[in-house]
Every structure is written in structure tokens, then in C-alpha cells.
Amino acid sequence: MSDYYNAFEMSPVPDPGPDAVPPELFRGIYGMPAFVTIPTDDLAASVDFWTRGLGFFELFGIPGRLVHLRRWAFQDVLLVTGASAPETAPAISVSFACVLGQVDALVEACRAVRPDSVDGPRDTPWNTRDVEVITPENARIVFTAAKPYDPAGEEARNLAAIGITGPDSGPGDNVAHA
């Protein structure tokens, strides 16, 4: 089996489905393959929104300078003290995976902290349910949850139209071969 398949099987993102369960919070330290840095002029308010609204936790911080937040493994955000946020969104845009069972709770939590911060959820033609959130720093955060694949559904038709086989169709040209 190729390294591609081994890496894919170890992904922290669960397989899509109505019973998908999010992975455990990961508090370990690792070399981050990617992360986003977001400047804020009110570090405390930003941390409050990201933790209570978006479900991140504080991994560590340097008082008055930065806070390292994390949700799942490889979903890392550094909030740093900086100039004021741009007046219009998006100052930056980033997407994070979630599971369907988290979408409604995420929407409710964000609206409880900042009532006008959420747009959605909405279903997409590529078979996800997405929620767009504008944070206190005017960052556009999209949480995207894969929906179960329906070989007779709209996603299958969209994939077929561009020549990609669906996950239940067996290996196609879009899959790395060993």
C-alpha cells in the first residue's frame, strides 16, 4: 500500500456520516505543517470568541502577546496582539473540517457570543454542509462537514461531470495508485 493511503488512513478527520464523531482534542506538541496567524487588537475578546464560540482550546500563551489555540490535530491558530482589525471582512479566510453532528452546536455557540457572526449552515453542491463565521478580528472562518456520499445524489453527478469517480466507485484516475 502506498504512503498516500497510509497517510490518508491516519487523518484526524473522521469519515463522513450521520454518526461521525469528532476526534479527541489533541494537546500534544508537534511540528505544525500549517497554521494561521491572526492579529487582534483585543486578545481577551478574541480568545473568548474562539474558545466559547468556535470550540478551540488554549494550548498555551504569552500574556499580552499571543495565544496558541487548537481544535483538532493540525487545526492550529495563533492569535497575536497587533494593529486593529480591518473594518470589513474578510481580513483573512480559513476553513476547518468538522462533523455534521457539530454544525448546529457550533452555530448556536457562536450566536450566543456574537449574534450576527454566523452565515449558514448551507449545503453545497460538493456534498458538504458549511457554516461561515466572522470573528472579532474580521477573519472569515468556514467550518465544513462532509455529508454521507450518495452514489445517486447531486455530488455523484457533479463528480461525474468533471470525470472524477466517487468514493464507492473503486479506484479511478483521481486516486493515487500503489
Residue 42 CB neighbours (<10 A): 15
Do residues 97 and 172 both lie within one domain? no
Do residues 124 and 61 both lie within one domain? yes
Assess if residue 168 is contained within a domain.
yes
Q: What is the DSSP letter of 29?
A: -
Chain centroid to CA 18:
18
Grouping H, G, I as helix, E, B as strand and the rest as coil, residue 49 is: helix
Assess if residue 28 is contained within a domain.
no
The CATH number of residue 57's host domain is: 3.10.180.10
> What is the distance between the alpha carbons of residues 173 and 178, in angstroms, rounded to a whole number?
13
User: Nearest CA to 23 among 1, 55, 48?
Assistant: 55
Do residues 75 and 102 both lie within one domain? yes
Confidence (pTM): 0.69
Do residues 105 and 45 both lie within one domain? yes
Q: What is the DSSP letter of 74?
A: T
- Count of domains forming the chain: 2
Q: What is the pLDDT of residue 58?
A: 94
The residue range of the domain holding 162 is 151-178
For residue 87, give Cα distances in angstroms to 38, 44, 77, 83, 94. 15, 19, 21, 12, 18
Return per-residue pLDDT of the chain as tens, 178 residues: 334 333 445 667 777 777 788 888 888 877 666 788 888 989 999 999 999 999 999 998 888 888 999 988 888 998 988 876 667 767 788 888 888 998 999 999 999 999 999 999 998 877 889 999 999 988 999 998 888 877 787 777 766 776 666 665 544 444 443 4
Q: Are 127 and 146 in contact (CB under 8 A)?
A: yes
Q: What is the pLDDT of residue 173?
A: 45
